[in-house]
Amino acid sequence: MSERRSQIRGFIPSCWAFRDKIVWSWDFLAAALALVAAYVLPSDQQVGKLSEPLATAAVALGAALVGVVVAGLAVVVALLDDELLVLMNKDEKSGGAAGHLFPYWFVTGTGVATFLLALLLLLAGSAMPAWASRVLFATVSALTVWTAMGVFNLVGSLQALGLNRALVAKLRRQD
């Protein structure tokens, strides 16, 4: 039996391999704008006042969206078969099957980061120096936007998968 190199990388190597999908995306731009706005616009007093409601919402949103993403990934995996996998791997522009599935992993990562950093903001934000609280506030704001927009992108991914699945079914009927 010959050894085949796995298409599955770790999280960081996957992020590096698909960095163009991360950085050159409208959801990254939205998160970057949220980061800048949340860092620059509020006063220290406003950051202190808004940190608890933001953190509470971000904890709930982060946890809920991770659940939604994992459920979406379960649907994708359930629809995979040999022919669809071959079709996905032919799409070299998007990175093959690994590239099609990477957004689920990445959005799960942003959701978990949102949850954990929001929990830190909720539990320790008021005890931090003002500059650290501001940085954490801005980061949680950006990650919340990025995760929410990433889930929206996954809907497009599911739509593309559905169309590819229909194409495979059509090709089967023609055989």
pLDDT digits (tens, 9 = 90+) for 79-118: 888 888 888 888 778 888 888 889 999 999 999 999 999 9
Residue 159 pLDDT > 90: no
Write out pLDDT tens, residues 11-43: 899 999 899 989 889 999 999 999 999 999 999
C-alpha–C-alpha distance, residues 20 and 29, integer Å: 13
Residue 7 pLDDT > 70: no
Give residues with Cβ within 8 angstroms of 79, minimum separation 6: 161, 165
Average pLDDT, the chain: 90
More confident of the two residues 58 and 101: 58
Cβ count near 162 (within 10 Å): 13
For the question of whether the overall pTM of this predicted structure is more than 0.75, the answer is yes
pLDDT at 1: 47
Range 141-168 average pLDDT:
88
pLDDT tier at 4, thresholds 50, 70, 90: low
